[in-house]
Structure 1
Amino acid sequence: MTGWINGIGWVTAAGCNCGRKTEEQPLLPGTLEIPKRKQVFEKPDMRFGRLDEFSRIGLAAIAFCLRDAGEETWSEKRPIGIVAASRYGCLQTDIAYLQTMLPEHGKLASPNLFAYTLANSFLGEAALRFGLTGQTLVINQDDEKGLSAIHYALEELAWSEQQAILTGICDLNPPQELSPENEYPGSLFFLLGREPSSSLPSYGKLELTGGEIFFSGARVADFRSLVAKCLVVGV
């Protein structure tokens, strides 16, 4: 099972960026700054302003990833899917929504927050904005290596007719009582294609063999090290 990394984009404690613009490791501990519309999209966008923070960082990272791959603009819908992994999901949005339900016996419950009390809400936003018609899902990130979404994405490429898969991670800063050591808050996505990009240099080839992931022939230790290897190749 193989796929080519044709784009990388992120919103992390290091800021917002695309893979072709820096060689610095973006997955860092620290406080995550939620991006404003002007940091992501040039034109005014009311929908982006209404998103909850979890959806906002997920959509922004996907936008930067597609931009990095030269695939942001489109005229016809594309069979591109999204596989995201998250440890905490939209927990903070759920908490914020429940807090609006407490006063007045629920009469003040926020309909806007309610719309984003599912971890996969931002996938629909991304599909609509970028013309994506592939399968989309969010899975629970429960492995220390952080590679579960990439495993699933490579399997999807092999077994489905999708031309590419956006895959990565998405997490806000967790509540303090839930935060273990070595947390890297933020969202980072790869665009995995069946073939290397025809318009821009690919970062390299991923292979899933015997339950292990290999990048350019070398075994991948974890998600963060894969990002580092891609950025060294992509500069």
Structure 2
Amino acid sequence: MAQVITSYCKIKDQQVLLNGELVLAAPSGNADIHHFLRYTYEQLGCEYPRFFKMDALSKLCFCAAETMIPQSGIVNRTDAGDIALLFSNRQSSILSDKAHQETINDPWNFFPNPAVFVYTLPNIMVGEMCIRHQLTGDTTFLLSEGFDADMHHRYLDCLMQQGAAQAVISGWVEADENGYEAFLYMVEDSMVSAGLLPHTPGSLTALYHNSKILTYGNVD
């Protein structure tokens, strides 16, 4: 048995890729993150009204997870409590933080909105994914300057080696005024076979930067 990457999804530049294949490209008029996420949600065929209450960061992660998780079949072969989640980004919940700050700047026009405030913690993004897919395993959210493949690999390897998880859904999800990016992947213990990627820092780095399909043994 070896730790392998069994599925991965990337969202960037108005495109959604699953396992290296383009599955959705938004029209040029949907460059705005809010328009793009609404379009992606509709194209995925979801019926989940809670989506419209989420902040942009949670919606971005939701769309990536909705693309990857049902297709992977992970929830059918692994107990929900044995699927851990590890996510990271650089700026936490910056969009919601700024929106909340605008509601409290003026003491004469003080109207903090609980619906905005609840999303000023990035782990709410992970919580939304857990609610949607009924996941109950260990959840962690970390901050770093960029996607840190070594950190992700070490943390996931520790979880799985200690028996705290049989599978991990992990990734990098960032959204601010300048753009958005989501990179999600799934790690499981499996027999090495063609089409499965080794869970190594090299594999993660290659997928994050290139989204190319790799097979076991291609990357150190």
Structure 2 length-normalised TM: 0.77
Instruction: State the match for 2:188 in structure 1.
Output: 193
1:11 aligns with 2:6: no
2:135 & 2:10 partners in 1: Cα distance? Answer: 19
Change (3 A) 1:74 1:194: closer
Contact 1:120 1:137 in 2 (8 A): yes
Contact 1:11 1:61 in 2 (8 A): yes
2:86 & 2:147 partners in 1: Cα distance? Answer: 18
Instruction: State the match for 1:67 in structure 2.
Output: 70
Contact 1:88 1:174 in 2 (8 A): no
1:100 & 1:32 partners in 2: Cα distance? Answer: 23
Instruction: State the match for 1:95 in structure 2.
Output: 98
Out of 199, 205, 211, which is 1:206 matched to? 199
Contact 2:2 2:191 in 1 (8 A): no
Give, as a single letter, the amino acid of the residue that structure 2 aligns with 1:38: E
1:55 aligns with 2:58: yes
What is the Cα deviation at residue 114 of structure 1?
Answer: 0.6
Of stretches 75-84 and 2-11 in structure 1, the one that deviates more from structure 2 is 75-84
Instruction: State the match for 1:154 in structure 2.
Output: 157
What is the Cα deviation at residue 196 of structure 1?
Answer: 5.2
Give, as a single letter, the amino acid of the residue that structure 1 aligns with 2:185: F
Contact 2:147 2:172 in 1 (8 A): no
SS for the counterpart of 1:89 is coil
Change (3 A) 1:227 1:154: farther
Q: Alpha-carbon deviations, 1:123-166, whole Å to 9, x = none?
A: 11111111211111111123575543233222212123311101
Out of 170, 173, 177, which is 1:170 matched to? 173
Of stretches 166-175 and 91-100 in structure 1, the one that deviates more from structure 2 is 166-175
Contact 2:153 2:199 in 1 (8 A): no
> For residues 73-84 of structure 1, what are the structure 2 equivalents within 5 Å?
77-84=80-87
Instruction: State the match for 2:122 in structure 1.
Output: 119
Out of 42, 46, 51, which is 2:49 matched to? 46
Q: Alpha-carbon deviations, 1:189-219, whole Å to 9, x = none?
A: 0010112599xx7531224xxxxx354xxxx
Instruction: State the match for 2:208 in structure 1.
Output: 224
SS for the counterpart of 1:65 is helix
RMSD: 3.4
May I ask how many residue pairs the two structures share in their alignment? 206
1:108 aligns with 2:111: yes
> Larger helix proportion, structure 1 or 2?
2
Q: State, as a whole percentage, how many aligned pairs show the same letter.
A: 16
SS for the counterpart of 1:172 is strand
2:147 & 2:63 partners in 1: Cα distance? Answer: 25
SS for the counterpart of 2:169 is strand
SS for the counterpart of 1:185 is strand
